[in-house]
Structures are given as structure tokens and as C-alpha cells.
């Protein structure tokens, strides 16, 4: 996160960082593991690692530890679609049938805007995240699944919607989803530790995931297709990164201290 210390001249970024550090150290004692990064006007005031990345081997989290960023990936997909709009390759008001073949009648009214805003009427999931499903097979599955309601009628979070945005990106550009992001976003921003497979990861740098006390494993141990994860999660999740890399594209958040 970035902090706007100018909101309250009595509270400096260093003081905020100190408070966060104390909180996170206490949280680590209670089992929290993770990396925290805070910056004021682009200057990092806190970049700390807490807890362990592997409970069995007691390996500590470091500031270079890789994490699965989950649905943060959707922000990259949305940014890529908007870049294509800026370049005149599409409009968010276009129907998805302009860019994807075989769209059935019940889905011909779906627009790119519906996909971006989770208002297409599609379901939450198209299958298990670790399923090795190819792109075109995912598209056929989604197109064969009925909508929950007509496009634009209601909001419902949808991973398949963002998967279709990734397909649209590839169909327009002729590039692989990750390659496009690396060329137009990650590379120019100096983000060398963000992606699916292009960074050629060292698996020892990735933290293991835990749900309560259950070990969910190292994200780099999951079997993927040759060019990345299966398309149930491609373009909507599963991308690895570090806190420092994400700072390069983090939205500016205004930190407002609580009133005394």
C-alpha cells in the first residue's frame, strides 16, 4: 500500500510504519506469515517479512518470497483490455461474439463491459483451479453452461468471465496472455518477479499455502500446461509475485489516520 502522510501533518510515514511493524510482529507471534510493504510518495518506509514460508522446515518468509496473488491477476487482465480499447482494437461496449466464435444465443448480448464488471450472468467457477483444461475446451464449457440471469441484470463475481477476457486478448493480439502482460506491463514497469512461467522460478522462493493447519503445498508444485495454468484460472488468478513488484503498479491509496 502507499500512504499519504500529508493528510495529517502530525502523523509521519515513519510513525505509521512503526505502528504497522509492531502490529505485524505481534501477529507473527500468533501465526501470521506474510510480507508487508508501505510507501510514502514512492519512498518505501516499511518492507518487512514475518513468519514462516514452510512450517515443516521452519523456513522464514523473506521480502523476496513469492506469493500466489490470487484475483489480483484480474486487475492486470482488466488493464490489458483497457489498453486494447485505447489502441482501438475493441470497445468495452462490444459484444463478446465479435471476438469469440461459437457464442450461443443466450450469451450474444454479453459485452466486454459485462465481463469486466461481473454482470454477465455467468457462474462463479468453470471448474477446479488445478484442472489442466485447454483454452478452447474452457470456452466450450462456459458457452454450454446456462446463465444465472440475463446479462446486465445482476452482479455476480465470475472467474470464467475473466478467463474469457484473456481469450479475447489472445484472439485480438495473437499473443499468449502472459507474454502480452510481460511485454506491455511487467517489463516496462521493471516487474521481473511477476507472472506464471516466464520468470523461470526457483521453487524454493515460493511460500507454501496453508488453510488453518492444512498444508496446501507450494504453488510451483502444481502441474500446469506448458504455457501456464489451466484455463479455469488463467487470466483470473494464480499469478505469482512479490510485494516489491506489486508496488510498481499499486494504486495510490490515501491512508487516513483514525480520529482521536
Q: Is the pLDDT of residue 9 over 90?
A: no
- Comparing 5 with 72, the larger pLDDT belongs to 72
Angle between helices 135-144 and 159-173 (to 10 degrees): 130
pLDDT tier, 257 (very low <50, low <70, confident <90, very high otherwise): very low
In whole angstroms, give the CA distance from residue 115 to residue 118. 5
Q: Is the pLDDT of residue 4 over 60?
A: no
Q: What is the mean pLDDT of the chain?
A: 90
Instruction: Output the pLDDT for position 5.
Output: 42
In whole angstroms, give the CA distance from residue 125 to residue 12. 44
Q: What fold does the segment set 70-207+215-239 form as a domain?
A: Beta-lactamase (3.40.710)
- Sign of CA pseudo-dihedral 123, 127, 129, 133: negative
Instruction: Output the pLDDT for position 16.
Output: 80
Cα of first residue to Cα of last residue in the chain, in angstroms, is 23
Task: Please state the rounded mean pLDDT for residues 203-219.
Answer: 90
Instruction: Output the pLDDT for position 171.
Output: 98
- Say what the pTM is: 0.89
Domain spans in the chain, listed from the N-terminal domain onward: 1-65+242-260, 70-207+215-239
Instruction: Output the pLDDT for position 40.
Output: 78
Angle (nearest 5°) at CA 45 between 40 and 47: 125
pLDDT tier, 182 (very low <50, low <70, confident <90, very high otherwise): very high
Number of helices and strands (H, E) in the chain?
8, 9
Summarised one tens digit per residue, pLDDT across range 20-56 is 899 999 999 998 999 999 887 778 889 999 999 999 9
Amino acid at each position: 500500500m502507499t500512504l499519504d502522510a500529508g493528510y495529517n501533518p502530525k502523523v509521519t510515514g515513519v510513525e505509521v510504519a512503526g505502528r504497522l511493524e509492531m502490529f505485524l510482529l505481534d501477529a507473527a507471534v500468533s501465526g501470521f506469515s506474510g510480507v508487508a510493504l508501505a510507501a510514502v510518495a514512492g519512498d518505501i518506509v516499511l518492507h518487512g517479512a514475518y513468519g514462516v514460508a514452510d512450517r515443516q522446515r521452519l523456513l522464514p518468509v523473506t521480502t523476496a518470497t513469492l506469493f500466489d496473488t490470487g484475483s489480483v491477476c484480474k486487475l492486470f487482465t482488466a488493464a490489458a483490455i483497457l489498453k486494447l480499447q485505447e489502441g482501438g482494437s475493441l470497445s468495452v461496449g462490444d459484444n463478446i461474439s465479435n471476438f469469440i466464435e461459437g457464442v450461443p444465443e443466450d450469451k450474444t448480448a454479453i459485452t466486454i463491459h459485462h465481463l469486466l464488471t461481473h454482470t454477465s450472468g455467468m457462474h462463479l467457477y468453470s471448474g477446479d483451479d488445478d484442472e489442466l483444461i485447454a483454452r478452447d475446451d474452457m470456452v466450450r464449457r462456459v458457452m454450454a453452461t446456462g446463465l444465472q440471469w440475463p446479462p446486465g441484470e445482476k452482479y455476480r463475481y465470475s472467474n470464467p468471465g475473466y478467463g474469457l477476457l484473456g481469450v479475447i486478448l489472445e484472439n485480438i493480439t495473437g499473443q499468449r496472455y502472459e507474454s502480452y502482460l510481460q511485454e506491455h506491463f511487467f517489463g516496462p514497469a521493471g516487474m521481473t518477479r511477476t507472472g506464471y512461467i516466464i520468470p523461470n522460478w526457483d521453487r524454493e522462493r515460493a511460500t507454501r499455502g496453508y488453510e488453518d493447519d492444512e498444508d496446501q503445498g507450494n504453488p510451483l508444485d502444481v502441474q500446469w500446461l506448458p504455457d501456464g495454468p489451466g484455463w479455469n484460472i488463467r487470466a483470473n488468478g494464480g499469478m505469482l509475485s512479490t510485494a516489491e513488484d506489486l508496488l510498481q503498479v499499486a494504486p495510490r491509496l490515501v491512508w487516513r489516520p483514525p480520529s482521536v
